[in-house]
Structures are given as structure tokens and as C-alpha cells.
Amino acid sequence: MFLQQLVNGLTLGSAYAVIAIGYTLVFGVLNIVNMAHGGIFMVGAYIGLLLVTEAGFGIFPALIGAMVGGAVLGYALEIFALRPLRRRKVTHLAPLISTIGVSTFLESVALMVWGPQTRSFPTSFGNELMDFGAFKISGIQIISLGTAVVLMVLLTILLNKTKIGKAVRATSESAETASLLGINTGRIITFTVMMASALGAAAGVLIGLSFNAIEPTMGTAMGLKGLAVLIMGGLGNVEGAMAGGFILGIAEVFSVAYGSSSYRDAVAFGIIILILFIRPEGLFSKAGKGGRP
């Protein structure tokens, strides 16, 4: 029983981690909370579903297609909702309101295009269980967990080993200093928002697979949980977001297994309140580094 719930928690937590990384990247570079991330997450889920059911794609091509769609939405978000405000040097509250507006717009469009009803991936899509004795795991869980881990590893390599990753980290530390060093901070910010949005869209597909339920309002709840992980892991800390996602996923699953399903959503925000009392800067914040990527 314990191992089974641990596997379920790790699978769910991996998807939460991917959602939270998108929040973390944007916060680390722009120092704002991107509330449109939940809307992009939801649209990514629908893109993946349509590519599987309508276009006949496999899950991995559909996942890549969703990430491309998410990146395009991220580009539009940066060009039309964030860049004009950044050029006018407004307070951080203005971009927050702007991204809330984008999220509401995306949800309204999804309601008009796909309707309010819940949709799901084909029932035969990776639902077979593999018995390992102490626990069972489905093909969907393996796909979700494996994909999330691969995305996190690739992102870590990108940020730590590549030239553009180092530029992202430099911009997150100080955009002005990075600009003086010859880094095109405008392009780096656009790249970061697109990459974060692509990860959010991928998480939408993974959550859609795991829960086998996609609806226009799904981005709101999952977006808030991603925000919870962002705070839990330490603002702007990518590694903290990864660890926080797994912690939240495991906590949720165990609260349902050994408690009641009605406590599931309360767990995320109960953990936030507890952490804010004990360690306001987050569990994995790096002192002196501002928790940046």
C-alpha cells in the first residue's frame, strides 16, 4: 500500500514540478508571477488531446506539438501583454493583472471552442497495469513520470551547460549587468517566457493523461498548485520547484489514501501556510543568491 501510493505521488508530483518550473523561470527573470501560465497549461492539454484524437498522432508527437503551441502562446504573451508594460517601467502589479486577463481570455476562448464538458484521451491509451509485486504502475504513469524527468534533466543541462542557459541565469541575476556584458536581454526574456510556456503546455498533456479529464477550467486549480510549489521551493529556484512538486504530489496522494479526498486541494495551501510560518523564503531558497535559476 505504501509503495503503491508513493509511486502515485511521484507520478503526480512530477507533473506539478513541470508546472512550477514554468512559474519559476518567468519569476526568476522578470520577477513577476505569470498568472497566464494556468491558461497556457489548459490550452496545451487540449492541443495534445486534439492531436491524438483528431490527427491520429502518438502521445510523444502530440506532446511536442503541445509544447510548440505553448511556446507560440508564450511568445504572444510576451509581445502583447508583458513587453509593453516592461518598456513603460510600470510596477509589478500591472503585469500580474495583465497575465490574469490573458488567463481569463484563454479560458473564455476554450469554453467557446470546446464547450464546458469534460474530455478525455482514448480509454485504451496506456491504461494497462504492470504488476511489480509491491506496486502496480500503468503505461500512462510511466509516460508521465518519464517525460517529466526527461524534461527536468534537459532543462537543468540547458541552464547550467549551454551559452543561452548561462545568459538566462545572468539576466535573472541582473538584467542591466547582463546587458552591459553584451547579452541581448530582450531576446533572453522572450526565450524564457516561451520555454516556460512550452513546459506548462507539456504539463497540461501529462495531467490530462494522468487524470484522464480535460476541461476549460482545469488551468485555474493546477495553476494555483503550481504557484504553491513555486512558494514552497523558493521563489525563482528551479531545483526547489522540482523538489517542491514531488513533495506536493506525494502529500496529496497520501492525504487521500490515509485521509479523505475532500482534503486533497486543502493540502497544497495548508503546506504553503505552514512553510510561510517556518521558512518564509521557501524550503530550498539559496541565501545570498535570491533563489534565481
Nearest to residue 220, comparing CAs of 89, 52, 108?
108
Q: Is the pTM of this model over 0.85?
A: yes
Cβ atoms of 19 and 228 closer than 8 Å? no
> How do residues 213-256 score in pLDDT, each as one tens digit?
899 999 988 888 888 888 888 877 888 999 989 988 998 888 88
Element (H, E) at 137: strand 136-138
Q: Residue 290: which pLDDT band, with cuts at 50, 70 and 90?
A: very low
Q: How high is the pLDDT of residue 264? A: 74
> How do residues 93-143 score in pLDDT, each as one tens digit?
899 999 999 999 999 999 999 999 999 887 666 567 787 777 888 888 888
> How do residues 186-201 score in pLDDT, each as one tens digit?
999 999 999 999 999 9
Arithmetic mean of pLDDT, 37-47 = 96
A 10 A CB-CB count for 2 gives 11
Comparison of pLDDT for 61 and 56, the residue scoring more: 61
Give the largest CA-CA distance in the chain.
60
Q: Is 164 exposed, middle or buried (0-12, 13-18, 19+ CB in 10 A)?
A: middle
